[in-house]
Amino acid sequence: MPGDSFRFIHAADIHIDSPLRGLEAYPGAPTERLRNATREAFENLVQLAIDEAVAFVIIAGDLFDGQWKDMNTGIWTAGQFRRLERARIPVCLIRGNHDAESKVRTGIRWPSNVHEFSVRRPETFTAKQLGLPESIDVAVHGQGFAKPDIQEDLAAGYPDAVSGHFNIGVLHTSLTGNPAHDRYAATTVEVLRNRSYDYWALGHIHIRSEPPISETPFVAFSGNTQGRHIRETGAKGCLLVSVEDGTIASTEFQETDTLRWHRAAITLDTSDSLSDLYEKTRDALQECLDASDGRFAAVRVEISGACAAHRELVQSGVQEEVVSQIRDIANEWDDEIWIEKVKLNTSPPINVEQLRQGQDLLGELLRDVQNLCTNHEQLAELVAESLATLSSKAGPELQAADISLADSDQLQTWLQQAEGLLLARLEAEA
């Protein structure tokens, strides 16, 4: 299948104007740098396409996070598409579960270089339809989401490969499933293989497939272009694909993110004091910054360990002071780090198991904690009862803040913190 050599970009899950989650503003926090993170990532993607003079750009769903809260989202996006139009680079895009047709009604006419696949049936764009030179023998197949919860296997209905062309399938899917993502348009690699395409540009899963799901045909998720919360750590971007004589010569991951998320896990030793905590934090932040490769870093600092500092940490007001101190340390690097959150999960440097065996009130209390550790229902009941007033007063806000009183991990963490708190208080009072 001889033909021209060309390159294209495979991107997905751009979620334009989706806010970055969980970032707490504080005095000195570089808020300005974060407002447009998803937009800047998309700008980087567009610039990459122009710089690399790619033949076309593929967006495999979820260009938007949901129905626009603001027309400005669409106006701005159209502006970026126009940049590609001026560079004569067509865009092929499908709608995903977040920007399904029933959910996002744009009301804005995209520039002529944007080719959106139908949501009713699978569609194919050839080089001619895309306005590419006919010497680029490419056929791009795809179908968007008409509604968010597509359960049928869309890939099974995709057309056969066009003979003598480089065939690309564009699909928004959970494949066989991923615990971190909802299950939509599920399919299998076998189904994809049966289409006899050369490349499957997948979207929906925000973690890039490394290595790819399949080499022949090449099947991969490009991941999202910008991490949006602490669960999306590491480099984010798109895939730059080179095709030579009808076969894939290379696929390179290209970073587009402007902000990178990190978890800095700090384990304190038995004798570690608050000053040791700060030193270790400084080192950990430096590592995060090194790993950010010049980008802005949003860091969750997770402090754990049975340590001498615990007794101080559970005192009233000390936690706030420690958090401020850690944010101050972050400010030592000018506008380069945002401390997303500081999680303090330390415990006192004592033999808790021994105390748990004691036939006194403390032993009774610790045994209760141990029992609750293994009994989720009881624990959930206890927490629901303890926080009943709060949840009745601020249910929607808690949900928006990602706080679930039924989340087992969350409850266990709180329980451990409560145990540590009581141990330190009781021990300190003793």
Partner 1 sequence: MKIREIDIENFGIFTDRHFDFGESSFQLIHGPNEAGKSTLLQLLRQLQFGFPTRSPYQFETHAGEMAARALIDIADGRRISFRRRKGRNATVVGEVEGTAEKINDSTLNGLLGSANIDLYQHVFGFSLTELARGEESLKHANLNEAMFGGSLGSPSNLQEIQKSLDSEAAGLFKNTGTKPVVNSLLRGIRSRSTEIKNATLKPREFEDKQKELRSAEERVASLSESRGETQQQLSHLDRLCQAVEPWLERNSIEDELEQIAVPAGVTAASGAEMQQLLIDQSRATSSLDDATKELAETEQQLNELKLAPEVLGVEAKIRSLEKDFSRVERDRELLPQLRSQSQTILADVQSRLAELNPEWNLDYLDSFQSSLEQREMLEELTARQADLTKRQAEVEARRPDLKQRVDSAAIHLTELASVRPVPEIEELLERESAFRSAVASLGESTANAASLNRQLSTLKKRLSPVLATPKLADDELAALPVPLESLLRSFQERHTVAESALANSEARCEQFSETLQEKQAELAAKTAAEQVPDRLQLEGQRERRDAGWTLIRRKFLAESESDSDSGSVEQEIESWIGKTAESLPDLYERETSEADRLADDRQAKAEIVAQRDQLLADIERAAKSLTDANLKRDARKQELEGVSDEWNDLLAGFNVKPHPPEVILEWHRTFESWLDVRSKLIDSQTRTKQLQEQTADFEKLLTSHSEGETGNESAAATIDRKLAAIRRRSEEIRKFELERQQIEKSLPADRASLESLNEESSRLDDERATWSLEWSSLLSKFGFPDDWSVRIASKTLQELHDAKQKYRESKSLEEQTSNLHEEVTSFHDKARSVCMEIRPDLVDFPISDMVSRLSDDLVQAANAERQHTSLHENAERIRRRVKAGEDEAAELSSRIDELLKVAEISSPEDFLEIAQQAQRQQDLQVEHAALTRDLKRLAGAEDVETFLSELAESDTDTLPLKRDEVQQRHQQIDKERDEALRLESEARTVFQSMDGTSEAAALQLEQESGYAQLGSTVDRLAPLVIAQTLLKRAVERFEKEHQPAMLTEVGRLLSRMTAGRYVGIRRRLDDAGTMQIEQQNGKLKTPDQLSTGTREQLYLAIRLAYVQHYCQESEPLPLIMDDILVNFDEQRAKNTLEVLFELPNEIQVLFLTCHEHMTELVRKLRPDVVPIELATA
Q: Which C-beta is closer to partner 1: that of 35 or that of 128?
A: 35
For residues 151 and 316, which CB has a smaller minimum distance to partner 1 in the complex? 316
Beta bridge partners of 338: 298
Identify which of residues 24 and 328 has a Cβ nearer to partner 1 in the complex: 24
Q: How many CB atoms lie within 10 A of CB 394?
A: 14
> Helices marked H in 180-222 — which ranges?
189-194
Distance in Å, CB of 367 to partner 1, minimum: 9
Query: From the CB of 143, what's the least distance to partner 1, in Å?
Result: 26
CB of 332 to partner 1, least distance (A): 22
Shortest distance (Å) from residue 86 CB to partner 1? 17
Which residue number, 248 or 426, has a Cβ lying nearer to partner 1?
426
C-beta closer to partner 1: residue 135 or 393: 393
Residue 215 Cβ, how far from partner 1 at the closest point, in Å? 40
Rounded to whole angstroms, the Cα distance separating 132 from 135 reads 8
Q: Where in 14-107 does DSSP place strands (E)?
A: 56-60, 91-94
Closest approach of partner 1 to the CB of residue 339, in Å = 11
Q: For residues 148 and 130, is the Cβ–Cβ distance under 8 A?
A: no
Select 37 or 54, whichever has its Cβ closest to partner 1. Answer: 37
Residue 209 or 319 with smaller CB distance to partner 1: 319
Q: How many CB atoms lie under 10 A from the CB of residue 137?
A: 21
Phi, psi (deg, nearest 5) at residue 174: -95, 5
Specify the amino acid at residue 414.
Answer: W
* Strands (DSSP E) found in 268-363: 296-306, 337-347
- Contacts of residue 68, defined as CB under 8 A and 6 or more positions apart, other chains included, come to 17, 74, 104, 106
Q: Of 194, 172, 168, give the one whose Cα is nearest residue 181.
A: 172
- In whole angstroms, what is the distance from residue 404 CA to residue 383 CA? 11
Q: Taking the C-alpha atoms of 307, 308, 311 and 313 in order, what is their torsion angle to the nearest 10 degrees?
A: -70
Shortest Cβ 379–partner 1 spacing (Å): 9
Question: Most distant CA pair in the chain: distance in Å?
Answer: 85
**Contact (Cβ atoms closer than 8 angstroms) between residue 90 and residue 115:** yes
Residues near partner 1, by CB under 8 A: 17, 19-25, 31, 34-36, 69-73, 75-79, 107, 316, 319, 340-341, 343, 351, 354-355, 357-365, 368-369, 382-383, 385-387, 389-390, 393-394, 397-398, 400-403, 414-415, 417-422, 425-427, 429-430
| Shortest distance, position 258 Cβ to partner 1, whole Å | 14
Query: Which residue lies nearer to partner 1 by CB, 18 or 167?
Result: 18
